Amino acid sequence: MRTDIAALIGSRICHDLISPIGAIGNGVELLSLGDDPANGSPELELISESVENASARIKFFRIAYGASASHQLIGRQEVLSTLAATARGGRLTYFWNIADDQPRDEVRAVFLALQCFETALPLGGTIDINRNEGVWEIQGSGRRLALDSSLWDCLTNPRLKADFTPSEVQFALLPSALHEARRKISIHRADDTLTMRF
């Protein structure tokens, strides 16, 4: 069995960061309960908001970039809370329209796809995630779609080469995640809507 070093590194980084970020959040909460004059100050609110955002992103990254196996399931509630926290204060709203727990390797592919959709919706919008008869469908809608063809073409044709930046690494990882999950991708664009199926 091939060891996915990148995924193991992602899991390790997220595992090691989530505890100190949680501890900072607890500290901020204790400060807000005390009699300190700083209570309710803009500074404390900014720190609290930043900790919440960092915690949400780490949880998102743990699913998207961490190690996974097809026999592992991820709970619906964990997915919902992660997406809700990620969307808080952001430009995107996620709708996870799936009732059951799902295989972790497939959810990993979905989360990588969601990061691809983030780049396509610079002005924000909504992203609906559905799974019908075993097929995942992700549909993003927004005021202006912005698709970099050199990145999106690599998803449907992994043989194409692109120079990925760190902010585009999801485009490099999604094809291999889909291959491991035995999924084939299709992408369709219509006006202000982008649909991905696998």
3 state DSSP class of 79: helix
d(CA 80, CA 101): 11
Average pLDDT (93-113) is: 95
Paired strand residues for 95:
128
Say which residues have a Cβ less than 8 Å from residue 78's Cβ, sequence separation at least 6: none
Using pLDDT thresholds of 50, 70 and 90, give the confidence band for residue 1.
very low
Look at 47 and 101; give whichever has higher pLDDT: 101
Examine the fold and report which residue of 11, 40, 67 is the final residue of a domain before the chain moves on: 67
pLDDT in tens, 161-172: 888 898 899 999
Give the rounded distance of the alpha carbon of 99 from its chain centre. Answer: 19
- Stated pTM of the model: 0.83
**pLDDT higher than 80, residue 119:** yes
Encoded amino acid at 26, one letter: N
Examine the fold and report which residue of 22, 49, 67 is the final residue of a domain before the chain moves on: 67
Considering the domain architecture, whether residues 51 and 78 belong to the same structural domain is answered as no
Considering the domain architecture, whether residues 121 and 139 belong to the same structural domain is answered as yes
Average the pLDDT over each of 36-50, 51-65, 162-176 and give the range with the smallest value.
Answer: 36-50
pLDDT of residue 147: 92
Using pLDDT thresholds of 50, 70 and 90, give the confidence band for residue 35.
low
Which residue segment(s) compose the domain that 14 sits in? 1-67
Considering the domain architecture, whether residues 57 and 109 belong to the same structural domain is answered as no
d(CA 140, CA 2): 33
Considering the domain architecture, whether residues 56 and 114 belong to the same structural domain is answered as no
Considering the domain architecture, whether residues 83 and 165 belong to the same structural domain is answered as yes
Residue 134: φ, ψ to 5°:
85, -5
Considering the domain architecture, whether residues 125 and 183 belong to the same structural domain is answered as yes
Considering the domain architecture, whether residues 81 and 120 belong to the same structural domain is answered as yes
Structural domains of the chain, count: 2
- Provide the CATH number for the domain around residue 194: 3.30.565.10
Considering the domain architecture, whether residues 167 and 180 belong to the same structural domain is answered as yes
Are residues 129 and 117 in contact, defined by beta-carbon separation less than 8 angstroms?
no
Average pLDDT (124-138) is: 97
Examine the fold and report which residue of 14, 46, 67 is the final residue of a domain before the chain moves on: 67
Considering the domain architecture, whether residues 83 and 58 belong to the same structural domain is answered as no
Using pLDDT thresholds of 50, 70 and 90, give the confidence band for residue 160.
confident
User: Can you say whether the dihedral through the CA atoms of 2, 3, 4, 7 is positive or negative?
Assistant: positive
